Amino acid sequence: MTQLNIDQARIDRARASAKRIARQVFDEMSTFTTTTVERATLRLMGVDGVDENEIPLPNRVVSHLQSQNLLQYGAATVLAGAMQSQGWTAQQVAQAVAQGTLTLTQPTDIQAAQAAAKAQAQAMCAHIAAQRATRDAQIKTSGEAPTPWLYVIVATGNIYEDVVQARAAAEQGADIIAVIRSTGQSLLDYVPYGATTEGFGGTYATQENFKLMRAALDEVGKKVGRYIRLTNYCSGLCMPEIAAMGAMERLDMMLNDSMYGIIFRDINMKRTFIDQFFSRMVNAYAGIIINTGEDNYLTTADAYDAAHTVLASQLINEQFAELSGLKPEQMGLGHAFEIHPEMENGFLWELAHAQLVRQVFPEACLKYMPPTKHMTGNIFKGHVQDALFNIVSTVTNQNIHLLGMMTEAIHTPFIQDRFLAIQNAKYVFGTMKDLHGEIEFKTGGKIEQRAQAVLAETEAMLAQIEQMGLSSAIGKGMFAEISRTPTGGKGLDGVIAKADSYYNPFPALMLPAQGVHHA
């Protein structure tokens, strides 16, 4: 398809603004750590499991470090020092702390403890690198579907039932299985443990659940002859920990936005900005594709009027992702088909928005979301809306295509609803396979004018945010028409100022190019 005629210089200016916005936030936040970053670090160093009250050991150790006023130095050094002095594993140290038989202290030889922490971290990095190599080898052997990849949700609350539904979806043609998290898990300041069978509107994200689903998808992938990708959510108060668990268990995608938690879950701004950097760094190293949440803006704001806020946020998300070491092909920047179906020429505007995003991020692994806000109990009209969404997706070369369900807004989809959604998308993708290469946009036409107008608004918005700072922009409700403040929201008490001698081995190992600057 010929490209829309849009001003590249304007894109460059908007991107440059976004880069400065992200950098300013990053520099402000780099002097802090959080309780969940330190818990993720403990997990990556080999701490797992729960105490007799089902409290995760990483939480027990971090609480203990806080009570001893040691967390500001970094959990890694203190843990490694205890491992050295006791001759124990990380797990044995954590168990002793939980049982009250060991009190952690500053190591007598800090340098030796840091070297030991680094060695322990290197072993986990080797494991994660091996998981990444396994993924590459399986894709090479089994092959993968052409894009747009069909992305399907399972959400029964019971991981064993999810496995049954996921297998069925893969056999029907799904390429990506996303296990929706239990309602409100993003607000838990700990990660549940073990296989779970009772979730609400979804299934708890736990390491054991990741392992069970990964094994099932590997098995069905061999059967259907293509690699099936697994997605979960590392948003919320435990973002870094869930990223670490996903890296260990070879997840392929993670919902991981830089601002979603602030805006939609009222999680503290500082906490989110620190956590998103560490979690994205882990995802980058593990070869995981992140999915961002800009599509959600259009469920609270009007999809036509607020189109530029989606693009502005995508540009900011891209820059945060780059600081964490993510490559463009790992950036599943989100957007959505959400214009009111009664709006005249709505389809043209949807096409304009999708093509604009495609051109602004030519190398990104874009994630396109289906109509949800204006879906009703009329399943026949809903099926038509989804078909129109499928057309835009294939014509504009999207990468990740979240399937629309005709029963959206009625109930959690049945297996047969999912089957019909997959059939609809496969029909459209097949019958219009090369359409994008056969048609051109009219120069100066409505679609081109719309794209240019959205881009101009985006550039102006980013220039404005650059002037006031991102936290002030969020405070003014510039995204999704929801306002948050820097000191409000959940989790601020988990933000810790780093001591001058703070040490964490993972940034230097996972971001060697940026090295010590991130340590």
Catalytic residues: 260, 295, 367
Judge whether 325 and 514 are in contact, CB under 8 Å. yes
* CA 482 vs CA 103, 381, 471: distances in Å: 44, 30, 12
What is the rounded CA–CA span in Å between residue 486 and residue 472? 8
| Distance of alpha carbon 22 from the chain centroid | 17
What is the rounded CA–CA span in Å between residue 302 and residue 454? 14
What is the rounded CA–CA span in Å between residue 477 and residue 371? 24
The 8-class DSSP code of residue 364 comes to S
For residue 291, list its beta bridge partners. Answer: 255, 332
Beta strand 400-402 pairing with 367-369? parallel
The number of helix segments (H) and strand segments (E) in the chain equals 19, 11
Continuous segment of H or E residues that includes residue 143: none
What is the rounded CA–CA span in Å between residue 46 and residue 238? 17
User: Please, which residues have CB within 8 angstroms of residue 95's CB and are 6 or more apart in sequence?
Assistant: 49, 57
The 8-class DSSP code of residue 509 comes to H
What is the rounded CA–CA span in Å between residue 382 and residue 375? 6
The 8-class DSSP code of residue 100 comes to T
What is the rounded CA–CA span in Å between residue 376 and residue 374? 6
Neighbours of 38 (CB within 10 A): 28
Continuous segment of H or E residues that includes residue 209: helix 207-224
Neighbours of 387 (CB within 10 A): 15
User: Please, which residues have CB within 8 angstroms of residue 517's CB and are 6 or more apart in sequence?
Assistant: none
Q: How far apart are the first and last CA of the chain?
A: 45
- State the Rg of the chain over Cα: 23
Strand residues in 8-50 grouped as ranges (E): 32-34
What is the rounded CA–CA span in Å between residue 92 and residue 90? 6
